Structures are given as C-alpha cells and as structure tokens.
Amino acid sequence: MKNTFIFSIILLITCQAYAQKPRARDLGIPLEGKTGKLNAITDVKGIEVGHTTLISGEGELVVGEGPVRTGVTAIFPRGKDYDPVFAGWYSLNGNGEMTGTTWVEESGFLEGPIAITNTHS
C-alpha cells in the first residue's frame, strides 16, 4: 500500500505542475528522496505520460458542434508493457465516477493506464 500512496503523491504533484501551482516541496511538505532531473513523474523509470488538449470553436455552446475545451492525461505506470501494479483507491469528495474501481478493489491490481479528464467526460 506504501507504493500506491507514493504513486498517488507523485500523481498529485504532476497534476499540480500542469496547473502552474507550487509543488509539494515548494510548500514545505517533506518528502523522502531526491527529485529527478526534471522533477516530474516522468523521471520515474518505466512510467510514460501522454497529454492532449482539444480547443476548437468560439462563441455559445451548440451541442454536438462546440466550442470544445477539454483534455486528457494518461499515465502508464509500467510504460506500454503489460505488468500490473498494486493499487487501491479512495473517493476524496464522493463526486464523479471512478471507472475501474470495482476491479481494483477485488484484485488489488491496476492493469491499465490512469486517465484523468474533466468531470463531464
């Protein structure tokens, strides 16, 4: 469970970095170890991260046409190799759907990427 907690902290720090917010160490939160070359989740050997932002159209929303403002980040804990990692989950605010949590709860493993997107996607 310690590895899951550490991965969760790394994920949180990565999300904060994308949002241009201060990192945990900048806020005085003590973390074990030293930062990697880029001080990013991608410094961890084997992890791959992909991100896409979609921005299209202007003006008032027309359902099915736009404008569009969305994006997604995908994290592959072991890269593209199939190698499950230990996992657990926790609902921080009880809002939104956590797809895949039933399997994580039953097996204790994460077998695919972690995808982060906006609440309505």
Note the pLDDT of residue 12: 57
86-90's contacts with Cβ under 8 Å and 24+ in sequence apart are 86/1, 86/3, 86/4, 86/110, 87/4, 88/1, 88/4
Find out whether 67 and 58 touch, Cβ atoms under 8 Å: yes
Place of tokens 């190799």: 81
Mean pLDDT on 24-30: 87
Residue 88: pLDDT band (50, 70, 90) is confident
C-alpha span between 40 and 20 (Å, rounded):
13
Find out whether 92 and 102 touch, Cβ atoms under 8 Å: no
Name the residue range of residue 22's domain. 2-117
Residue 116: pLDDT band (50, 70, 90) is confident
Give the global pTM.
Answer: 0.61
Evaluate if residue 13 carries a pLDDT over 70: no
Question: Domain tally for the chain?
Answer: 1
Angle at 26 between CA 21 and CA 27, to 5 degrees: 85
Residue 10: pLDDT band (50, 70, 90) is low
C-alpha span between 71 and 108 (Å, rounded):
28
Summarize pLDDT for 30-86 with one digit per residue, the tens: 988 888 898 888 888 889 999 999 888 999 989 888 898 888 999 999 888 888 899
